[in-house]
Amino acid sequence: MSSQRPDVLFLVLDTQRVDRLSCYGCPLDTTPHIDAFAAQATRYQMAIAAAQWTVPSHASMFTGLYPSAHTMTQSYSVLPDDITTLAERLQAGGYFTAGFCNNPLVGVINNGLRRGFQSFLNYSGLLTSRPNQAGVSSGLIGRYRQWFKRQISGIMTKLQDAFARSDWLLSLSFTPLMVPLWQTALSFKGNTAKSL
């Protein structure tokens, strides 16, 4: 008899309205793939978020704690090291953990929400991730591209963290002058054939 672990899929649709999902009664055929999955899964009729926005909600989902306990209540918050995440628990239990994200508040800002993922592919911002091809070794040009991307990514991460941790810079990013640049940077959120 095999002692194989069951797969665990944790799908988060940030700001998804329940009344726009066909499996929850939307009269239009809006979500055929989610409907097919939901037909064989546990569906809940009521769920209440621990917080009203992305950072504290994800921190609660990833830790099982209320925002008052995990303290992730601001865009500049960082998950305390002594709090274990779901991904860390799964990894400790022998699971391979992978995350796929197109939300900069989860996948770009260095706030601890990626902790515990052995592989984390980010499709938001200017420097999107590209999946590794298992068994394919990188040539010289490929290794150089990876090195160069790590250098640029380090700079971009510091810049993005600065915007997330400064009230003044965060306010500046939502001014009419900056919004077009911000939207351009976020237009790589996984909506291209390459990232999909």
Contact yes or no for 22/32 (Cβ under 8 A): yes
Interval 9-18 mean pLDDT: 86
The tens digit of pLDDT for each residue in 24-75 reads: 999 999 999 999 999 998 888 888 889 988 999 999 999 999 999 999 998 8
Q: Using the 8-state DSSP alphabet, how is residue 1 labeled?
A: -
Tell me the three state secondary structure of residue 45.
Answer: coil
Residue 188 has a pLDDT of: 41
- What proportion of the chain, given as a percentage, has pLDDT over 70? 75
CA–CA–CA angle 129, 106, 34 (5° rounding):
85
What's the structural domain count of the chain?
1
Residue 5 has a pLDDT of: 82
Domain for residue 37, yes or no? no
Domain for residue 159, yes or no? yes
Max mean pLDDT range (3-17, 30-44, 102-116, 153-167): 30-44
pLDDT at 79 exceeding the cut of 50: yes
pLDDT at 148 exceeding the cut of 50: yes
Residue 182 has a pLDDT of: 60
CA–CA–CA angle 59, 63, 66 (5° rounding):
70
Domain for residue 165, yes or no? yes
pLDDT top residue among 164 and 92 = 92
Least confident of 23-32, 128-137, 146-155: 128-137
Domain for residue 148, yes or no? yes
d(C-alpha 90, C-alpha 93), whole Å: 5
Residue 125 has a pLDDT of: 57
Give the gyration radius of the chain's Cα atoms.
19
The tens digit of pLDDT for each residue in 136-146 reads: 556 777 677 76
CA–CA–CA angle 146, 185, 134 (5° rounding):
30
Nearest to 87, CA basis, from 55, 65, 110, 119: 119
Domain for residue 162, yes or no? yes
Residue 139 has a pLDDT of: 72
Tell me the three state secondary structure of residue 98.
Answer: strand
* Greatest pairwise CA separation for the chain in angstroms: 63
Residue 129 has a pLDDT of: 59
Domain for residue 20, yes or no? no
Residue 27 has a pLDDT of: 94
Domain for residue 4, yes or no? no
pLDDT at 82 exceeding the cut of 50: yes
Domain for residue 42, yes or no? no
Contact yes or no for 70/60 (Cβ under 8 A): yes
- Domain boundaries, position 112: 48-186
